């Protein structure tokens, strides 16, 4: 499988696996790591690699198709839809972070942390992260 698709599952999460996959593909396309015309693994192939029920994968692919991110072709691998030629501008990519940061903000408030402490932690995590 292409490295550009590198996807791993988080079990034990409140986010169902199909949605983890949808978000993953959305981010990869927004950042330009996946572009117009790139083929994605078949349902069967990805189900086997991840050891996941194929219906979970096909559910994610159908949602991505409905959103116009992927296109289905008869008898061929699905691919990234033609309008996604290049990375989205940072101003719109950052919006993809909003849901997860909103949740983090809610938890920071529950924990009664100061804004500064929470932001410091986020900075530290960005600095130490394996992914750039």
Partner 1 sequence: MNEHLLAATTPSVDLAGVTLAYGNGPAVLKGLDWQLLPGQVVGLLGRNGAGKTTLLEALLGLRETQAGKAQVFGQPVAALDDATRARIGYVPQQSDLFDSFTADQLLRYFRSFYPRWNQAKVDGLMSRWDINRHQRIAKLSGGQQQRLSIIRALAHDPDLLVLDEPVASLDPAGRRDFLRELVEQVIERGTTVVFSTHILSDLERVAFHMAFMSEGRITLQAPLDELLDEVRLLSGTTSEVQGLVQRLGATALKRKPLAAGREQVLARLPAGTQLPAGADGEAVTLEDLFMELT
| Contact positions vs partner 1 (CB under 8 A) | 9, 11-19, 44, 47-48, 50-56, 59
Q: Which is nearer to partner 1, 59 or 84 (CB)?
A: 59
Closest CA to 104 of 90, 115, 91, 92: 115
Q: Which is nearer to partner 1, 13 or 31 (CB)?
A: 13
Q: How far is CA 27 from CA 5, 6, 34, 53, 121, in A?
A: 11, 12, 9, 23, 23
**In the complex, minimum distance from the CB of residue 87 to partner 1, in angstroms, rounded to a whole number:** 29
Q: Which is nearer to partner 1, 22 or 80 (CB)?
A: 22
**In the complex, minimum distance from the CB of residue 46 to partner 1, in angstroms, rounded to a whole number:** 10
At 70, is the secondary structure helix, strand, or coil?
strand
Tokens 């100061």 belong to residue = 114
């Amino acid at each position: 499988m292409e490295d550009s698709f590198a996807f791993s599952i988080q079990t034990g999460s409140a986010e169902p696996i199909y949605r983890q996959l949808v978000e993953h593909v959305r981010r990869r396309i927004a950042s330009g790591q996946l572009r117009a015309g790139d083929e994605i693994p078949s349902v069967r192939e990805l189900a086997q690699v991840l050891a996941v029920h194929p219906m979970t994968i096909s559910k994610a692919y159908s949602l991505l198709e409905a959103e116009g991110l992927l296109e289905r072709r008869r008898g061929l691998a699905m691919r990234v839809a033609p309008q996604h030629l290049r990375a989205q501008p940072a101003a719109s990519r950052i919006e993809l972070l909003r849901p997860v940061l909103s949740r983090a903000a809610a938890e920071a408030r529950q924990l009664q942390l100061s804004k500064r402490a929470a932001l410091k932690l986020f900075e530290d995590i960005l600095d130490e992260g394996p992914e750039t």
